[in-house]
Amino acid sequence: MGASPLSRPIALGGVSIRNRLLMAPLTTNYGDERGAVTEKTLSFYEERARGGAGALIFEAVSVNPRTRLVVRQHGLHDDVFLPGLREVTRRVHAHGAAIFVQLCHGGAKAGSAINGLQPLSASEVPVKVSDIPRAMSREQISRAIEDFATAALRAREAGFDGVELHAAHFYLLSAFLSGYFNRRTDEYGGCVENRARLTCRVIQAVKGRAGEGYPVICRIHGREALPGGIDEAEARQIARLLADAGADALHVSAATLPVNPKLASSFAIQVGGPPTKQVPAGCYLPYAAAVKDAVGVPVIAVGKLNEPSVAEGVVRDGIADAVAIGRGLIADPYLPEKILAGRWNEIVRCEDCLTCHTTLQTQRDVNCSVSPRPWEPRGGAR
């Protein structure tokens, strides 16, 4: 067996990554009651850096304390979080991996039960049945842009190699991009250019605050299975607009699958869940390929790419430039090392049971059926 195509280095916005296997952002609920780093956080990320990933994308952090997604979501909305996050980046860098951080405004998914406030979104279209969001005013939009920019500056101060803007999965930026959720009639609604305006302005604000050379990845939808939702043509148009605004890479997810069946009664929409056992590997690859064909910046593919042969084919066949794996790295932090070394039979396989997703959505620490207590160090590959 020759060298894996995933073993080749790649540059994301000028940051050199040792290989093309990335850890996708995974909200863990491992923070403390304020959202600060804990020993669970440190252990979880250090073990996955030790496991051979080229780069980790640290989970969605709140850019405003009133837009949290879970009760112990990590934050970047205050300097108090910097010491713990500096320790995260120090430990990850010590093992040769790069680390980005995902910045997120919860939008309609920032529930009132967690934050004590009615959530804000592009329009009054709910994601969860428990909360009808308020449409944001221009003043509130300007505040959100400022929140992202300030969080990005803190990310740089904490030692992160760059940031990822979460513009997928129906959080704030995603809702503005989507024709299903965005019913506005001002300069932020209507045509694709208007719907992309907020995310473009956030990219520009981040570059203005953290520096033009500071890398920005955008996570977007390649398709939404909703009436008026983003289709493949719109996704390519959005990708070009974001790249023109300064995005250094695009991370292509999608909202085409049913929501987690264990949680379906909580959602006002029935699409946007993680892949289940019944979904084939590489379920979002056609959307990543379409985006890659439209832009000149690197494209990261995601979506049930735990199978080594499928992951290798993504890069070998030019479908995308890098692969992000999430749940597979909860199950086995040494998955990248094992893939790159050809030790595929040693991988602890994710069973797509959604235990991790269900525990998170019910406000518990993320756990795993095949690898219980994933925050504990393993003491080496196994």
Q: Which are the catalytic amino acids?
A: 171
Q: Give residue 365's identity as a one-letter amino acid code.
A: D
Buried b (16+ CB within 10 A) or exposed e, 25-50: bbbbbbbeeebbbbebbbbbbbbbbb
Pairing assessment for the beta strands 249-255 and 216-224 based on DSSP bridges: parallel
Please classify residue 3 by burial: count the beta carbons closer than 10 Å to its beta carbon, then call 0-12 exposed, 13-18 middle and 19+ buried. exposed
Buried b (16+ CB within 10 A) or exposed e, 80-114: ebbebbebbbebbeebebbbbbbbbbbbbbbbeeb
> Which of 31, 29, 152, 44 is closest to 84 using CA atoms?
31
Tokens linked to 228 = 């008026």
| Contact status, residue 349 vs residue 339, Cβ threshold 8 Å | no
Secondary structure class of 327 (helix, strand, coil):
helix
DSSP string, 139-188: HHHHHHHHHHHHHHHHHHHTT-SEEEEE--TTSHHHHHH-TTT----STT
Give dist(CA 134, CA 121) in Å, integer.
6
Pairing assessment for the beta strands 10-12 and 15-17 based on DSSP bridges: antiparallel
Q: Which long-range contacts (CB under 8 A, 24 or more apart) does 355-360 make?
A: 356/26, 356/327, 356/330, 357/260, 357/273, 357/274, 358/260, 358/262, 358/263, 359/29, 360/27, 360/28, 360/29, 360/70
Secondary structure class of 267 (helix, strand, coil):
strand
Q: How many CB atoms lie within 10 A of CB 79?
A: 10
